[in-house]
Each structure stands twice: as structure tokens, then as C-alpha cells.
Amino acid sequence: MHKIIRSGEIAPTPGGTIRFEGEEHGSAISFFHVNAETGKGADLHTHPYSETWIVRAGTGHFMADGETIEARQGDILVVSAGTIHGFKNTGSERLELICIHASPRIIQHDLPVTWPSK
């Protein structure tokens, strides 16, 4: 079996993110294709599986288990299942990421904590 999802078939959110849930397309993985403006990103949350980020463009701060890490174009970051994490675009250009979820559907537990200010 094979399947192609053409550009534009999955509508982006108002913020520019595309959400791909693998289950409905016969895939064992899911992902977000993020295209975030400066100051935008994902607040702290967890997943019951690992997540891998590929930074395609821009600069962001990624938090994982309380540690803040700066990442830029070409960097790859991985968090294990249950790790508290999130990210923000801290650069002057858009932050483009592929956020790969090791699951056929996205399961996200948002946390009632705010992103730490510097």
C-alpha cells in the first residue's frame, strides 16, 4: 500500500502548523510541521512516547526536564516518553520544525505551568 497527501490537503492552523495523524493514513508515526512566528511555540506538555524535533529554519529555545537548550537550523533534538518539554521561537525569523511523534496518533498532555521567563 502507498498513499500521497498533496500539499494543501491538510489545512494549517491559523498559526501555520500542519498536524499529521498517521493512523488515518496507515502510518505508524505522526508529526507536526510547525512554522511559528517569533515568541510562539508549544507550552510545556508530555507524551507517552518519544518525540524527535528537526529544526529546518530559525532559532528556538527548547525546554526538556527543566533544561533550556538553544537549537537552530539543522539541529535534531529527542525527548523520551514522559519528558516535560516545549519550545518557543526566540529568533527574528519564523521557526520551522518537524516534530515527529512515535505514535500513529498524537497524544498530548498539556501542563498547567507557564513557560519560564528569562
Query: 48-66 as b/e, with b when 16 or more CB fall inside 10 Å?
Result: ebebebbbbebbbbbbbee
Tell me, which fold does domain 18-110 have in CATH? Jelly Rolls (2.60.120)
pLDDT digits (tens, 9 = 90+) for 7-66: 999 999 998 999 999 999 999 999 999 999 999 999 999 999 999 999 999 999 999 988
pLDDT digits (tens, 9 = 90+) for 80-117: 999 999 999 999 999 999 999 999 999 999 998 776 65
Domain positions in the chain: 18-110
CA 65 to chain CA mean position, Å = 16
C-alpha separations of 17 from 4, 6, 82, 85, 118 in Å: 19, 16, 23, 18, 26
Q: Compute φ and ψ for 24, nearest 5 degrees.
A: -75, -5
